[in-house]
Structure formats: structure tokens, C-alpha cells
Structure 1
Amino acid sequence: MIDDILHFSGIEHVVFDWNGTLIDDIDLAVFAVNRCGEHFGVAPVTAEQYRARFDFPIAGFYASLGFDLDRVPFSVIVKHYLEHFDANVAQCPLQPGVIEFLDAARQLGIGVSILSASHCDVLVQTLRAKGLFDSFEHVVGLSHNQATSKTAEAVVLQKKLGTPASRTLFVGDTLHDFDVAQAVGWSPVLVSTGHQDYQRLQLSGAPLFSGLGNLLERFTHGHALLAKTGSA
């Protein structure tokens, strides 16, 4: 309980990753990867295999699956992937607890933003389709489709927030999200509902939750305790 207070004390803003963290797009991602595999002669993977291997940069992930990036450039593979993924991602369901978390943050006076490795245009379109775009103060995606890293964008976002980095919580579903938080000075929290499995996420040593609902329960309870003790 003391760990909750220390980790959530003074938080003024929550930055969320998008894919896998707020939207449940794992099945679509696995299907799109296997669609690429069928086209380029690579064996299919299960969702469990996908989550055990998924990593950044994404080009390295594809190489680990057996794609020959010397024979077929990553840009060609990812174009084939996105032809299916981008056309269908808006149909994916939100992760359980998303609306409840956004409502709770609003009631607590805590700002929320998104930082994603998705192309910004697709990210905005999907958020609008879900009726969520206006729920976030800042929506930050990449300007390209290479899914390399979000660190540079995180640095820019932190400057826009205008609050100390230590008072920002970053909620993600990958070890890369943990690395981004560490690079910027944000307080990292991971959920195991997304693109990497629980065992791999444990390697980070960051607080790890089974889902947003579990995280929200601890988050709001921590704030309630802080309010009672006057430590916020």
C-alpha cells in the first residue's frame, strides 16, 4: 500500500500508450503479421508467440520471425501489414476499464494524453471513430510508419505538458514504453493486456498490472489515502 502512495503521489498527468494499452488490437495485429507471412513465405505465429517476441524497433521483430529484410525491405512488409491493419483497427474493442479510467482522471483533475508509435493520422482517425479524441489533452503519434521509437516524441510532449516529468505517469504495454518513460523521467506503469506477455514485462521491474481496471483500483485508492493523510 505504501508503494502505491509513493508511486502515485503528486501525479498531475497520465500519458497512455495506445495500441494494446487502450485498444485491444492483438488479434488484428497477429492476423496482419500472418497475412504478411503468407505473402512473403514466413511461417505463421500464434498470439502467444507474437507476444513473446514482439519488440522495438519493429523491423527487428519481423527479422526474429524469419522475414528476410535483405530480400524484402521492411518498408515493403510494413506497407502490406498496414493495408489490413489500418483499415480495420477502428473496429477493435477498447480494453476493459478505459472509459472508467478516463472518467476517474477527470474527477481527480488529472490530465490525460496519448503517445503512440502509430502514424498520427491513423491514430486520430481511430480515436474519432471511438468518440475519444476530445478526451485527451494531447494526441501524439509518429509522422511515419516505421515504428522505430517514441522517445523523441515523448521529449517534445513533456515540454508541452508544462509539469515536472516526475509528476507524469506513463502507462504502456511493452518494455519500450518502460524505456521511453525512463528516458524522459516519467513514472512507468505497465499492463499485461497488450503486445508483450507478463513474463517479459516483469523484466523491467516496473509496477505491473493485469489490466486497466486493476491499475485504476490501486491508483484511485492511492489518491484517496493521500487525500486523507494530506500528503498530496
Structure 2
Amino acid sequence: MMDDRLHFSGIKHLVFDWNGTLIDDIALAVSAVNRCGERYAVPPIDTARYRALFDFPIADFYAALGFDLQRTPFAKIVEHYLEHFDRNVAHCPLHDGVFEVLEAAREAGIGVSIVSASHCDVLLHTLDAKGLYGRFEHVVGLSHNQATSKTAEAVLLQKRLGTPANRTLFIGDTLHDYDVARAVGWKPLLVSTGHQDASRLQRADAPVFGSLGELLGYYASDTRRCVAHEEV
């Protein structure tokens, strides 16, 4: 883990992952996976096992859990998963510190956007339900339900931002988010409250925070230091 308390120096834009980063949907995800497991005769898992195994491509994750993807097409499993997940995700709570981080970014003149592997329609509906609609400059989700990488969407967002990629910080909760950031040229930062546990996230060459609130503490400290420097 890289311990760098100055990630916000020079940052012009924050891009957030959604699932597991801003919204606490882990319990729902585990429930939806187990619902699929019940249908296809795969043993249930708990949250710890989910976070230890969850990965991209998601088809490999299901294979690791014991789903027979030769017998049951991955698309059918995803369809069954989303029937439960999409219907209930708007009821999931936000992680602590979401509104505080967004407000701190606004006060500092830092833009904020979202890139998510959720379907765009579901994403927008959930943002509205959580009081976040209109709080982001750009909201980018998938146009399909194939549970694929969001790298292509991140590349398109970077073009829309019109600022140097290394001035953007991407905050996510998985090693896939780290890979997306590196592919686009964004600086990665990870929080361990989401879909992968801290021990896995620490394999990446990126700062790992225990929560958004912890991130906010570092950010506030850095802001005070910058203000003090400007007043000298």
C-alpha cells in the first residue's frame, strides 16, 4: 500500500465508482448471488467469501463459486441476479462520508463524476432515490446488462472531461477499478468498504483507505496545509 497523503494536490476531478464505493450494496449482492446459487444448485456464500473471491471478469467469479457456465449460460445467471439486485438496490444505504466528500470537493472547486458497471437507467434511478441526482457533472453507466468491464466508458469520460488524465483521481473499491484507472491514465485510490477486502486491494500500487470518512480526513488535512502555504 502506498501511503501518500497528498493525492489531492493538483487534482481537478474526482471520478467515483458507484457499487461498493458510494453505495453499500454488499449485503444485497451476496443475497442476489445466493439467489442464483439456489436456482442452479450452488452452495451459498457469506460476505467474507464473496469479498475474497469477487473479481472481473465476473463470469470467472461465478465459475470460482461453482456455477457450471457450460451448462448454464452466464447471461442467464446475470439476468436472474439483476431481477433481484436492480429491484432492491435503491434501498441500500450510502456509505458514511459520501455527502461530506462531495461537499468538500465542491468547496475546493474539484469536479465529480461517476463511472459504473451498472446499467445507466438503474444508476440514475438509484442516484435520485439517494438524493444524489444532479450532484455529478457526468454519470456514466453501461447500456447493457452483460456485467462487463467499464474501461471503455472511462476512456470516453476522459475525453469529455478535457483535462489531463493525471489530474483526475479515480476512487473505487476493487482491483478492477485500479486497472481501469491505469488504463485511462487516472490516479487510482481504493476504499476497502466494498466488494473486495483490504488484503486484496493492498496488492495494488495505490493508496487504500478504510472508508470515505478516512479519505475526507486526509483531504481536510491537505486543504489546511495548502491554505496555510498560500497565506505565507
Specify the TM-score bucket, using the shorter chain as the normaliser. over 0.9
Distance 1:103 1:160 in 2: 23
Distance 1:223 1:187 in 2: 19
Amino acid at match of 1:159: K
Aligned residue pair count:
228
Structure whose residues are more often helix by fraction: 1
SS at 1:96's partner residue? coil
Distance 1:138 1:220 in 2: 24
1:4 is aligned to 2:1:
no
Partner of 1:207: 207
| Structure 1 spans left out of the alignment, 5+ residues | none
Instruction: Write out per-residue CA displacement over residues 180-229 of structure 1, whole angstroms, 9 at most, x where no aligned residue.
Output: 00111111000000000000000002100000000011122223223333
Amino acid at match of 2:211: G
Partner of 1:132: 132
Deviation larger for 170-179 or 215-224 = 215-224
Q: Is 1:58–1:146's contact at 8 Å kept on the other side of the alignment?
A: no
1:34 deviates by 0.2
Where has structure 1 moved over 2 Å in runs of 4 or more?
Answer: 226-230
Amino acid at match of 2:135: S
Distance 1:220 1:87 in 2: 37
Distance 2:11 2:111 in 1: 9
What is the alpha-carbon root mean square deviation over aligned residues? 1.1
Amino acid at match of 1:9: S
1:90 is aligned to 2:90:
yes
1:144 deviates by 1.1
Amino acid at match of 1:28: L
Taking only the aligned residue pairs, the percentage that are identical comes to 69
Instruction: Write out per-residue CA displacement over residues 66-110 of structure 1, whole angstroms, 9 at most, x where no aligned residue.
Output: 000110001000000000000000000000000111111111111
Amino acid at match of 1:26: I
Q: Is 2:86–2:122's contact at 8 Å kept on the other side of the alignment?
A: yes
Instruction: Write out per-residue CA displacement over residues 112-161 of structure 1, whole angstroms, 9 at most, x where no aligned residue.
Output: 00000011111011111112110000000111112211111111000111
| Structure 2 spans left out of the alignment, 5+ residues | none
